[in-house]
Amino acid sequence: MKKRTAATTFAVIAALAIGPSTAAIADDGSTPTNDESSYSYTAPLDIVAYDAEVAEAHGYRIETDENGEQYSVPVTPEAIAEQERDEAAAESMVQARGTVYGNCGTSSLTGFKSRNDTVTFSTSFAISGSVAEYDWRVNVYGFISNNYWSTSGFGPLAGGTKSWTGAIPGVVGPGTARVPANSAQAAVIKTNGAVCWSGGPSFGFD
């Protein structure tokens, strides 16, 4: 996805060093067997910057307070109405037991490794607001080999949520699957310009 110049902090902080990968793989329909365990974890989505270009395109303006902190101000009637809806939705959001919400929302990763060296996963994000665009990735680090899955896209997204299920092959040995933490590789930009990064949910496998 094209990154905008206004969000320089949205650039990749450090490229993750992983092995050769394949393109996104469709869900193979796997389910855990008796000797496979499925794990589910969540992590917060937090605002790390504001993208003024995205904000302006959706009727918002980015301003800076006396402490140097940026914030988004709705300007158009449509943006004002959207912010009111988003604030109401955020107040009514029910936090599931064990779920940690950031000031932007939450991210999740669930999965397991099967006997054919394939890691099956489900991953998602949910934000308190409207989505303009997103990048999302799952990295899998095996003891012998690594791989990854990634996607990107644009809003609007109903309810500020998006989820995927897939399978990543060629992962040899025990290891870890994770959504990149504090990285532009797993990020959501809201229509008000807020740039949100995942806290990096992960799970281990044998």
Would you kindly state where each structural domain of the chain is located, as residue ranges? 21-30+37-205
Q: How many CB atoms lie within 10 A of CB 44?
A: 19
Residues 6+ positions from 13 with CB-CB distance below 8 Å:
182, 183, 184
**What pTM did the predictor assign?**
0.78
Look at the chain and count its residues: 206
Of the ranges 5-19, 28-42, 128-142, 147-161, the best mean pLDDT one: 128-142
Give the residue among 28, 21, 86, 79 at the shortest CA–CA distance from 54. 79
Strands 70-74 and 60-64: antiparallel
pLDDT at 40: 82
Give the amino acid at 42. Answer: T
State how far Cα 30 lies from the chain centre.
Answer: 23
Asked if residue 156 has a cis previous peptide bond (ω within 30° of 0), the answer is yes
Q: What angle do CA 122, 23, 142 make, to 5 degrees?
A: 65
**CA 135/CA 141 separation, integer angstroms:** 20
* Dihedrals phi, psi of 193, to nearest 5 degrees: 95, -10
Q: Which of 35-44, 71-80, 129-138, 161-170 has the lowest mean pLDDT?
A: 35-44
How much is the average pLDDT of 18-23?
Answer: 36
- Average per-residue pLDDT for the chain: 81
User: Which of 15, 47, 12 lies closest to 184 in space, CA to CA?
Assistant: 12
Q: Which two tokens mark 89?
A: 């939705």
Longest C-alpha distance within the chain, in Å? 58
Of residues 151 and 1, the one with the higher pLDDT is: 151
